[in-house]
DNA sequence: TTGTACGCGTTATCAC
DNA sequence: GTGATAACGCGTACAA
């Protein structure tokens, strides 16, 4: 791994000239350029991104940070691919970190990113008043919030229209004749959960269906909570004829609970989930879901970030992508 | 974000002293230390990992690189979590990159990692003579190969005993009374594929079951190829009674192909897959699989890397983890 | 068009 | 115990 100095020595020029060739500056004699290029190639020169970052401090460090709760959640894996693909197309590498929804881990990784001088950070805030994210924005570091939003400060945001997603699901179920529809919700401090819940409530109301508080249960987006809460709902004296579950993992839990009771989907109870899965088709029965455009969210977020690099003063944009209903067999 | 110099000024000492405090050197007066610590805290000092890396070059840069084919493959997502968890426990961040099995992308990301001076790299080699990986090792960069191995040069490796995995599957099917067992294999230039194929062939032979070349098809580990090849196998005049599929995505393709033919699993044909999935239980029917300890592979790989940091001259280790058979309903 | 020299934030080697 | 100072590799302002 030769350095700029090595190349300069080999080519018989100064380091400045080599640097100019590497960075495609125009002010260099064509003949010198070719000589330098040959030396560059012979030594297999690879510029030190570290040294470059230290020198520049502000601007193109060709690295961006992405924090997600858990890469094992297919939604975030897909989102991450969207980010990375755009990054790769722009010669950027992605520092990918899992926060596990833990403030400590989030803080640790954000400090790493700061001290790595990443050009920008893509992150789903832990909640709507996420102090770390707020601070980040105050510091002037380009940030794009994905999936969720913060209310504390204006910031670029790319989300899915969760309200619309819930609306799609409930209207579909109502059209199928259901009037008693259960809902397994997610953590209420996350905006996505509340939006989905609002969509559920409003849509019922719009169709003059009385809301029964017993039919709504608050979970934590994990499989086990989906199972538990679904059991509670199935235990009700007047069992619902359909169930809407607010994310992919909880939907699998719900499925398990229903099967454990010896009930059949959709004969005994219809099921609609949130988030599509590559395996949704193969599940028993194939799962009807509200599909979030996760890849698009990641892609768009990265694009917004690059736009901000190009134009730091643009005012924060808030992009909302629409989910779609994918009808399979679980909804009857 | 204050720098060392700012802290030094505030505390009325030299940068050297501050550095000593930060790095917990002993040679500093207790009283000075407390004064510096206060200044550190007041400025919310966060050391620049970039500057530190530039200075040190060799050794603790607290960053490691991980290259995987695709984070959307649950096997690699799980492996990545194993790596990251160990990294986090050691205050390391992980630069995670998807190669998509493309030599160009692999080369790009390896160059990034080199020029980021990562302390070590964890990578599944593209094939057994992966030149990039070979070069990396020659350059003296700590490397751990995971999932697959290279033959060109001795290097730390953490794999799964794929031969044993295939053996488990085939012996199980034979015990169930099957004698005509199809096999959808993976790309032959990857060692895992060949090991699984060898396990299949050898186990049949060990049980005096004649090998029928028609029953073996070579795929590419992707869903579509699983579907296609399974269709070919189902078209045989003498259809097998059981099918062993060499990875998770191809197993889903196989399932689709079988269902499309109107055949039932396991009544008409038994199915065993390779790689477990969080959804294997929910699939129709629940999939019998050879489960690879993916998280363990990642964890172990990171641990081996840290051992090498501590002892650069230790001779390369080759660790092989055992897969287990998880019996569900698809195997009858 | 080209070269010299400085500084980015650290750490480590010397002196004191 | 502490403080100058050099060095890591690069980009650029300035001088030639």
Would you state the pLDDT for residue B302? 98
pTM summary value: 0.92
Helix (H) or strand (E) holding A255: helix A248-260
Helix (H, G, I), strand (E, B) or coil at B24: coil
User: Contact, B288 vs B329, CB < 8 A?
Assistant: yes
Strand C at less than 7 A from CB of B4: yes
B258 at A interface, C-beta within 8 A? no
Residue nearest to nucleotide D6 (CA to C1'): B55
Chain A, 148-187: which have a CB under 8 Å from a chain B CB?
Answer: none
Tell me the CATH class for A162-292+326-331. alpha beta
Q: Determine whether the interchain pair A50/B48 forms a contact, defined as Cβ–Cβ distance below 8 Å.
A: no
Of the candidates B305, B329, B299, B330, the one whose C-alpha atom is nearest the C-alpha of residue B317 is B305
The conformational region for residue B147 under phi > 0 = left, psi -120 to 50 = alpha, else beta, is left
Would you state the pLDDT for residue A72? 92
Would you state the pLDDT for residue A308? 94
- Say how far apart CA A62 and CA A95 lie, in whole Å: 11
Could you tell me the pLDDT band of residue B59, with boundaries at 50, 70 and 90?
low
* pLDDT tens sequence across B270-313: 999 999 988 888 787 889 999 999 999 999 999 999 999 988 88
* pLDDT tens sequence across B66-86: 999 999 999 999 999 999 999
B77 at A interface, C-beta within 8 A? yes
B102 at A interface, C-beta within 8 A? no
Mean pLDDT is lowest, of A263-267, B22-26, B34-38, B132-136, for B22-26
* pLDDT tens sequence across B115-160: 999 999 999 999 999 999 999 999 889 999 999 999 999 999 999 9
- Locate CATH 1.10.260.40 in chain A: 4-55
Residues of A in contact with B115 (CB under 8 A): 46-50
* pLDDT tens sequence across A200-246: 999 999 999 999 999 999 999 988 999 999 999 999 999 999 999 99
Would you state the pLDDT for residue A59? 64
- Chain B residues 46-75 within 7 Å (CB) of strand C: 46-48, 51-52, 54-56
Sign of the dihedral through C-alpha B212, B183, B222, B320? negative
Which bases of chain C come closer than 7 Å to a protein CB? 1-5, 7-13
Which whole number is the average pLDDT over B302-329? 95
Would you state the pLDDT for residue B92? 94
B316 at A interface, C-beta within 8 A? no
* pLDDT tens sequence across B185-205: 999 988 899 999 999 999 999
Superfamily of the domain at A63-160+294-322: Response regulator (3.40.50.2300)
Name the minimum distance, in Å, from the CA of A117 to any CA of chain B: 8
Q: What is the CA B316 to C1' C13 distance in angstroms?
A: 35
Report residue A150 CA to chain centroid gap: 14
User: Contact, B181 vs B215, CB < 8 A?
Assistant: yes
CA distance readout (Å), A151 to A129, A156, A193, A199, B138: 6, 12, 15, 20, 52
Which contacts qualify for A21-29: CB closer than 8 Å, 24 or more apart? A22/A47
pLDDT exceeds 80 at position B57:
no
User: Contact, B197 vs B167, CB < 8 A?
Assistant: no
Of the candidates A275, A278, A292, A301, the one whose C-alpha atom is nearest the C-alpha of residue A84 is A301
User: Contact, A49 vs B116, CB < 8 A?
Assistant: yes
Pick the CATH number of B4-55 from 3.30.200.20, 1.10.260.40, 3.50.50.60, 3.40.50.300: 1.10.260.40
Structure tokens at B24: 């917990």
- Say how far apart CA B66 and CA B158 lie, in whole Å: 14
Residue-level pLDDT, tens digit, chain A, 332 residues: 789 999 999 999 999 999 999 988 778 888 999 999 999 999 989 999 999 888 876 667 899 999 999 999 999 999 999 999 999 999 999 999 999 999 999 999 999 999 999 999 999 999 999 999 999 999 989 999 999 999 999 999 999 999 999 999 999 999 999 999 999 999 998 889 999 999 999 999 999 999 999 999 999 998 899 999 999 999 999 999 999 999 998 999 999 899 889 999 999 999 999 999 888 887 878 899 999 999 999 999 999 999 999 898 899 999 999 999 999 999 98
Q: Determine whether the interchain pair A112/B96 forms a contact, defined as Cβ–Cβ distance below 8 Å.
A: no
Q: What is the mean pLDDT of chain B?
A: 93
A2 at B interface, C-beta within 8 A? no
- Locate CATH 3.40.50.2300 in chain A: 63-160+294-322, 162-292+326-331
Could you tell me the pLDDT band of residue B24, with boundaries at 50, 70 and 90?
confident
Give the number of other Cβ atoms within 10 Å of residue B9's Cβ.
16
Judging by beta carbons within 10 Å of its beta carbon (0-12, 13-18, 19+), is residue A147 exposed, middle or buried?
buried
Structure tokens at A150: 């913060």
Residues of A in contact with B95 (CB under 8 A): 93-96
Helix (H, G, I), strand (E, B) or coil at A280: coil
Name the minimum distance, in Å, from the CA of B151 to any CA of chain A: 24
Which bases of chain D come closer than 7 Å to a protein CB? 1-5, 7-13
Would you state the pLDDT for residue A189? 85
User: Contact, A10 vs A41, CB < 8 A?
Assistant: no
Of all residues in chain B, the percent with pLDDT exceeding 70 is 99
In DSSP terms, A146 is beta-bridged to A158
- Say how far apart CA A286 and CA A282 lie, in whole Å: 6
């Amino acid at each position: 791994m030769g350095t700029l100095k090595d190349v300069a020595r080999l080519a018989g020029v100064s380091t400045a000239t080599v640097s100019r060739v590497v960075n495609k500056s125009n002010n260099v004699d064509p003949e010198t350029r070719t000589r330098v290029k040959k030396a560059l190639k012979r030594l297999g020169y690879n510029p030190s991104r570290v040294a470059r970052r230290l020198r520049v401090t502000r601007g193109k460090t060709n690295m961006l940070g992405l924090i997600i709760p858990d890469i094992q959640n297919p939604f975030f894996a897909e989102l991450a691919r969207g980010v990375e693909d755009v990054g790769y197309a722009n010669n950027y590498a992605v520092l990918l970190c899992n926060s596990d929804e833990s403030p400590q881990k989030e803080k640790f990784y954000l400090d790493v990113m700061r001290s790595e001088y990443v050009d920008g950070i893509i992150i789903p805030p832990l909640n709507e008043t996420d102090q770390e994210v707020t601070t980040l924005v105050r510091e002037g570091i380009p940030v794009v919030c994905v999936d969720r939003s913060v209310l504390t400060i204006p910031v670029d945001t790319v989300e899915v229209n969760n309200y619309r997603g819930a609306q799609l699901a409930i209207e579909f179920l109502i059209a199928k004749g259901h009037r008693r529809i259960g809902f397994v919700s997610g953590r209420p401090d996350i905006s996505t959960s509340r939006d989905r819940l609002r969509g559920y409530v409003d849509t019922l109301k719009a169709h003059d269906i009385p809301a029964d508080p017993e039919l709504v249960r608050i979970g934590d987006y994990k499989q086990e909570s989906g199972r538990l809460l679904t059991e509670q709902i199935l235990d009700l004296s007047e069992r619902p004829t359909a169930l809407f579950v607010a994310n992919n993992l909880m939907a699998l839990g719900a499925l398990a609970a229903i099967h454990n009771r010896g009930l059949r989907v959709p004969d005994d109870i219809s099921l609609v989930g949130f988030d599509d899965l590559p395996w949704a088709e193969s599940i028993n029965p194939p799962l009807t879901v509200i599909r979030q455009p996760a890849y698009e969210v990641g892609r768009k977020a990265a694009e917004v970030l690059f736009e901000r690099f190009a134009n730091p003063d643009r005012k924060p944009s808030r992009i909302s992508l629409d989910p779609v209903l994918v009808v399979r067999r679980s909804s009857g």
